[in-house]
Structure 1
């Protein structure tokens, strides 16, 4: 089949999208893979992937590395997208490709002190203040914090349930006592938003397709609503019903940057920095590394051990030679 077709609303791309949804790929992976597959086809003058091979793949990957100056991780995502295309859609294994996965530099995570975090929190307010406090107080990834539902918050047992975190793993983490008043206030706000939706004839929660079929009659229950609801309702990307999703990650990022600038912090700070700081502070305070691993949801403890490098545990008691001389 020749695909000299416009890439917008392309039947071929739609076939790929359906295949990824059948395999339960995340919406972020779906968007990323479709983006790079589309770029690959456009780069090669809209030729069908069936008529292309290693030469075209190598030329495209070299182009984005040399002329687009993409990072090593982005190169690897583009390569994964193309491998997915050929393996699952074209049904051809890519062999003897003269291109390896780009080696990513090993970086230690940026960590903030308690004083720096307090300063950032001082310059944030409302739900964004609470989100930041949850990132640092519970060790959440941003996507996990934004995806919290009312039913995930257990105020009586001071615990929070993380549903399908990274790697589709569930876990429990601690709920800081100091955040209970703010959480109750946010729950009350979410209740008000949900009541308004019900009054206007809506009120369905946004859920994954499998859960929509299983809990269809319960989706208007308040317990299924997001703790941080979006300002607007939307059409569900899979099932097409009107629902209210959680706020977008970009909305949080737009509030974080001014707070970091106002705090006069020169480190590179992102939402994930608070997760790094959570893990580091727990280890500094003497928490067992296995406990930290469980709270973070790491599959491999080697990932958690990275934070021992940050706190310098392997250099404990080691003094610099210059500290042994009198420089006066």
Structure 2
């Protein structure tokens, strides 16, 4: 008896053996569709419950993988219709040309969230969750988003997608054409994975180390030297954002001089280098989770900083929720 038959018969553990090998990639698909790890958690849980309840109706004409992606995609489309798209500060309006300190969180906005990488993720999977790509997907209607991901990322054919989405192959091809036009307008020409591969792991680590050190030491000159001239800096859930090295230099006074003490831990999110920042009232105090900065590279410079001010991300990254005082060398 195979796992599918065993799951239909209600054998303990059979359903998990059936879906377990696909769980991570299904979760990534839900994230790409929804732009939120938390929404992806909910969608995957709901999709697997639907799949479990629908086992008796699965006739086996397609693979288990195709069937599970069908259920997951339809679940995500229901959520897209209910919740709409997620945004970054750039989607709300033009950049600020001066430092805005009175910048309260915009809690009514559904913000795009980051995605935590895992050691076993493939090059292709990391590339398909890069921040710019997931942000661009949010500008597509749900059906175009689904068609593009199923075709370009997951290698399903247009005919397979038509069956999965209960539509025609002609409709799928039309959706793909419109989706590609939008995505090509919004995506940079070179992916983050390609840039990092060309730089090499050691150089990427060096850039991240310099970034963290500059923040921790309040070294404005070293910090600005890491940035491209057209760098962008945003801080969801804060609505204001900055574009260009002069604006970034002006804003950098906030984390460099007005925040008393930083400690950082290097992580990766969305297939990109990132640092988790802990903030303390002084070097001698405890430091608590504050933000995760996802860095977008252009060559060996930082072209984008997206500072997700969300302490709940630290648990997602399996990071400690408190760091002690900075240990000084005596």
Which TM-score applies when normalising by structure 1? 0.30
Normalized per residue, which structure has more helix? Answer: 1
Q: Which has the larger radius of gyration?
A: 1
Normalized per residue, which structure has more strand? Answer: 2
Which TM-score applies when normalising by structure 2? 0.30
